[in-house]
Structure formats: C-alpha cells, structure tokens
Amino acid sequence: MASETDRPLKSPPTMADVAELAGVSTMTVSRALKKGGPISEKTRRKIMNAVDELGYVLDQTAGTLSSKRSGFVVALVPSINSSNFADTARGITEAIENTGLQLLLGYTDYLIEKEERLVESMLTRRPEGIIVTGGRHADRTRRLLSAAGIPVIETWDIPDNPIEHVVGFSNAAATNALVHHLYGLGYRNIGFVGGTSNRDTRGADRRLGYAQAIEQLGLPRGRVISFGKPPISMEQGGEAIAHLMSQWPDVDAAVCVSDLSAFGALMECHRRGWAVPGRIAIAGFGDFEVARCSFPRITTISVDAFEIGRAAGDLLLNAIEASREGRRIPPELMLMPFKVIQREST
Amino acid sequence: MASETDRPLKSPPTMADVAELAGVSTMTVSRALKKGGPISEKTRRKIMNAVDELGYVLDQTAGTLSSKRSGFVVALVPSINSSNFADTARGITEAIENTGLQLLLGYTDYLIEKEERLVESMLTRRPEGIIVTGGRHADRTRRLLSAAGIPVIETWDIPDNPIEHVVGFSNAAATNALVHHLYGLGYRNIGFVGGTSNRDTRGADRRLGYAQAIEQLGLPRGRVISFGKPPISMEQGGEAIAHLMSQWPDVDAAVCVSDLSAFGALMECHRRGWAVPGRIAIAGFGDFEVARCSFPRITTISVDAFEIGRAAGDLLLNAIEASREGRRIPPELMLMPFKVIQREST
DNA sequence: CTGTTAGCGCATTCAT
DNA sequence: ATGAATGCGCTAACAG
C-alpha cells in the first residue's frame, strides 16, 4: 500500500478511465452511477469494481455544465454564531438532505452591502434557488436575484414588497405582543434594550413594535437604551441594563432585543443584587437555550428558527422541482407563528 | 421596467452574448472580468457596459472545468449550533475571504459515517483543499481524502496518525491541566460530567485526561456521570450535576465536558440552593460567552476556536497555492495553545 | 493588447 | 440495455 505522504498531484481519474477499465462506454458508466439507471446488474457490478479500483469520484462540475443543473442551493444568513440563524441553517440542511442538493451557506454579517457581494459571487455557481434573511436588500441585490431566474425566498421577516416567496413573521407584531403581555402582568415602566445602528432590520422592527405598544397603552415613552452594534452580545446586554436603570430608575421591566442580551442583563442584575423579577422584570426574544436554562428562566418570544429553515427549504424544493419542469409556482407567503413564553423572569 | 413577477425562465446570458454586444471575442471578455487582466481601459469599459446591460454573471462552473480550479474549499464540522465550531467556521471564512475561494461547509453531526458520506459528496465538487474536525475517520474517508490529491487539514485534535496537516491541541492534556488546577485550589473529590457514547471523540479525550489526572494525583476515582448523547446540552448538564451529587454527595468539584453543560449545571445548583463554589465548584471547557457572563462566571479551558479556524484556513491557503504551482508543502503540525481560566465558580 | 483553436468531463439526444 | 456524436460555457495556450 502506498504511503499517505506520496499523495498524487496529478488530476483524479475521469469517467473515461473507469469506462476503459470496465470495458464499456462513458455513457454506461454515467448511467451506472445514478441510481435507477437502465443498467444490467452485471455491467453495473463491473463498473463499480472499476470505480473502487481507481478511487473514482464523479465530477459534478462537468455534470452541471452539460445537464444545466448545478445541484446547489444557497442560503444567506446574518451570522452563524447566533444559534438563531444556525438553527435556520440546520432546518434548511435537513429539508434538502437526500435530495442531491448541496447547500452553499454565506454570512452577511448583518450588512446589506456584504449581502450584495455574496449574492453576486454565489450566482456565479448557478444555484437552483436561494434563501435570504430579511426583507431589506440593496437595489442591485434585488435586480440580480430577479434576473437570475431562480426561486427566491425571504425569511425572518414580512417584507412590504417581497421579491418572490416569503417564510417569516412580523418582528414588530411579536414584540408588540410581548409588551402587551408585560402590561397585563402589571408592569407600567417598560424599557427597551437593543443595538445602536439600523444594520439589524429585525432589531429595528422589534424596537418599532415596542414603541407602538407603548403608544397604544399610553405608557411613558423614551426608555430605550441603544448599545453596541448588532448583534448585541451578552456582555453588552449587561452594560445596557445598568445604563437603563441608572437613567430611568423607575423602570420595572426591560424588553431586550434578543435572549442573548436579556441573559447578559439578567446576570448583571444578579451581580448588582437587583432581584429579578422583583426589582426589575426581564424579557428577551428568540427562546434560545440559554433563556430556558438560566436562573430565573427568561420570558421570551418563541419563534421556531429551525422550522423557518425547514419550511423555507421545503418551499424551495417545490419551487425548484417546478422550475426543472419548466413551471413556476405562485409566490407564497408563509406566516410562521410566534408566541410569548411566560417564565420566571417577569 | 419589467415587473418582478415575470421573471425569466430562460437560461441566463453567456459570455458569448456579452462578447457580441461589446463587439469583442469571448476571450477578451474573460480577461476583462478578472482583475489585472491585460485589457485596454476602453474595451474594458465597453465590456462592463455590456455586462451591466445584460445582467451577466460569470459562470464559474464552466470556468472550473477548463481551468481545473474549482475555487472551492470544504470544511467539515460536527455541528454548527455549538458556538465552538461556528467560531472555527468563521475563522476559516475570514482566512479565505478575498482570495476568490468559496467555503463549502458540512455538518457531520458527530458521526464518522456521516463524515464519510459528506467527504464523498463534497469531493464531487472538486474542492482545492479540505479541513476536517478531529482525527478519527472511517477508513474509506481516509482513502478518499488521500486519493483526492488535495491538501487535508485535521483540526481540534492531535491525531496519532495524521492524514496530512494538523491544527489542534490535546483535549486530554487540557482537561488534565484543569484537574490539576482544581487540585491546586484544594479540591479533592472531583467529578466529571460528559456525554454517553463515544461519538464525540474530543469529549472522550477530555474524560481520558480527567481520568489520568485523577490517577496521577491519587484522588478517588469513578466519579463520572455520563448523560445524554453528545453534544451534551445545558439542560443535560443540569440533570447530570443532580445525579452526580446524589450519587457521590462528597463531591466538591465538577469538571464538565463543555461550558454548555457547565452552565446548565451551574443554573441547576442555583435552583437547588447549592452554593457555587461554596458547596460545589464547577468548571467547563471552551470559554464560551455564556461562561464569561454567567453568575458566577465559570472557570474553564480557553481554546481559541476562531484562531483554530483562522490558522487552518491560512495553512490551507499556503498548501493550495503550492499545489497550484505543482509544489507540495511538508505536513505541518500546529499546536494551538490552551489555558485554564480561573473564575468565580471554583 | 486581442483573437483563434482546442478541450476540460460529463449528460443529452438520438441511434442501435 | 448500450453506444456515438455533440455541446454545455468557459479558459489555456498559442499566435499575431
């Protein structure tokens, strides 16, 4: 057996090599390699032996060119370190598993300019469909996506003017519901903790929903702390809650833009000896594992990130299948449910 | 302007279309599209106009075939929901940013059989290099990787018999160091909390390091709780610590296989009124954000997951560049540092 | 600086 | 059930 250090630098074997070794044509090899091909069991076996002997691996690159099917699907998420979008990515992965499709994943870093560059570079691979996060995009991104002629799905949001399909929910409505929930519990001086810039449009929508609810309920306005650039971290959640309390000592509840910041805020409260929810109630967004496990457990909005990915993946599969048959399915708007999860922190 | 609903179903424009519109040959278009190509500014401008007008996007699939460079790099990680490996993925992403290389990411789910399938399907895209997690693989995985003739990097571990390059550290040595650290603090009845199966070889190595240290220090053995299949969750960490305490009430410190389980254990202690570190000390592994922010903050082993990715990415870039020039760089073994971070939980 | 020729490795289409 | 011819869209190599 060859030592593993003298690994080949030459190009790998081709289908023609396999065909020659098996004594058949390349076409027969091609058919033998895809399941369900019309091949006699005998020749298939011969071919498989040749494949093993040569260590042959199909070159999809070439296949793509001639079949005009790349087998790629792309998904763009803001970040992969937020378990939120990681779950969505997992949902997509699971949906396309065993379909022969490959996921090309990209991180936009919450920047629509980066999204634009990513879309362009991804289209270069001729994906058969694409899933993006959010409903705000650069103009050119929209143009590129429309011109690509492939199914497009926007997620995690309800865009005013969707590109094509949508799988999401209203971040504003969800946060609004959370504030009303806190109101129902008796809280009257409700603050908001979020990131600074408007990079994170979902964060901005949540703030909007908060402001609307405050307005509707006639509660004191302006108790908003903006801290750090999104995604706001645990650490920053801790700093933000300290600011909030020192600026408006009468605040009795804090709505945080995500469970991460809510958790950071909660731990800071522990540290400072502020009872939660006695002195101040804390609520988050996202129903992350950390919110379920912390002490006290954190009241939050649950949105099934995994399910968003799964649903988007399934929808994309349908659209791709239609597209392969020359059809096109009508634009779909899938509203995903959210709900307030009441826990010990409020 | 065409409405966005009547999106084209026809195939996108080709380089030939651009060439015709610009009145040049396809070769000139090709050169204009890669920066640094020998092109007069005038023709380049003409071509770019044609590109814009047609909404042309380069088809890398075809380029790959003729240039024999896919521009792909693959990375296989156990899971993307562990912030650990997400950080490594981010490090790789950052390392290859602006190199024209594209990351193909796959999740093995901690299963070497799934890794095997992934390797095979990824090789189908003719990646120029591959980064895998850990040092244990299926035999066929090793064979496929060796036969692929591309640079291979194993990470997060120090394999006994590396395939080629390694960027990692010894999980056993790190955990061993942590136990010695706890010993130094005066703890004598040290337990271990980890997952059940041996799917997670890094987890198994950590347990091994724990056992070795216990042996070396002459401490009471066997205080090990195995709970849930890896990656062990926060929730399971909580359950595990309860088991540990009920089974060996004399335990005064718990080493957890990861910060996630350590955090879950910590919160369970809060819940049950066990003072940390007064009644029991808790230590984790990985230096996750949650360990830095929790109350009390958790003693842990810090390994720079991001840096592992970054270093592996850089190394891979070197190897790929060499490979493109027909050279091969000698197998490298990069030992990444780890250190015990003493915090309030011990 | 630009064009011509050739071919990458496979799947489609049409034969047989 | 198998084979032959053809071309996918691009870039390498060479020519001018």
Closest-CA residue of A relative to B328 is A9
For D9, nearest residue by CA–C1' is B62
Name the pTM for this structure. 0.91
- Please check whether residue A311 lies inside any domain of the structure: no
Do the Cβ atoms of A73 and A290 come closer than 8 Å? no
- Structural domain contains residue B122: no
| Cα(B104)–Cα(B125) distance, integer angstroms | 9
pLDDT in tens, B107-149: 999 899 999 999 999 999 999 999 999 999 999 999 999 989 9
Residues linked to residue A48 through DSSP beta bridges, in sequence order: none
Res A6 pLDDT > 70? no
Kindly report the number of other CB atoms within 10 A of residue A328's CB atom: 16
Unique residue bearing structure tokens 């390994």: B303
Residue A4 within any structural domain of the chain: yes
Q: Which residue's CA is nearest to the C1' of nucleotide C2?
A: B28
Which of A123, A235, A293 is closest, CB to CB, to B267? A293
> Which residue of B294, B320, B327, B345 to mutate against A (max A Cβ within 10 Å)?
B294
Number of domains in chain B: 2
The CA distance from A296 to A188, in Å, is 21
The percentage of chain A sitting over the pLDDT mark of 90, rounded to a whole number, equals: 81
Instruction: Grade residue A180 by pLDDT with cuts at 50, 70 and 90.
Output: very high
User: For an interface test with B, which of A293, A306, A324 has the most B Cβ atoms less than 10 Å from its Cβ?
Assistant: A293
Q: Is residue B326 part of a domain?
A: no
Instruction: Identify which of A287, A136, A117, A132 has the alpha carbon closest to the alpha carbon of residue A204.
Output: A136
Would the pLDDT of B35 be above 90?
A: no
Instruction: Work out the end-to-end distance of chain A between its first and last CA atoms, rounded to an integer number of angstroms.
Output: 66
pLDDT of residue B6: 43
User: CATH code at A28?
Assistant: 1.10.260.40
Q: Which residues, in sequence order, are CB contacts of B130 under 8 Å at separation 6+? A: B73, B74, B75, B76, B119, B122, B145, B148, B150, B151, B152, B153
**Residue with CA nearest C1' of nucleotide D1:** A39
Does residue B268 lie in a domain region? Answer: yes
Cβ contacts (< 8 Å) between A64 and chain B: which residues?
61
Helix or strand holding residue B166 (H, E)? strand B165-168
Q: What is the CATH number of the domain that holds A225?
A: 3.40.50.2300
Residue B221 lies in a domain: yes
Strand C neighbours (CB under 7 Å) are A 11, 14-16, 26-27, 30, 33-34, 58-59, 62-63, 65-67, 69; B 24-28, 31, 38-40, 42-44, 62, 65-66, 68
Protein-to-nucleotide distance from the CA of A71 to the C1' of D12, whole angstroms? 27
pLDDT surpasses 60 at B73: yes
**A324 is a domain residue:** no
As a whole-number percent, the residues of chain A with pLDDT over 70 amount to 97
CA–C1' gap, B332 and D13, in angstroms: 35
What count of residues does chain B have?
346
- The amino acid present at A190, given as its one-letter code, is I
The domain of A21 spans 1-56
Domain contains B251: yes
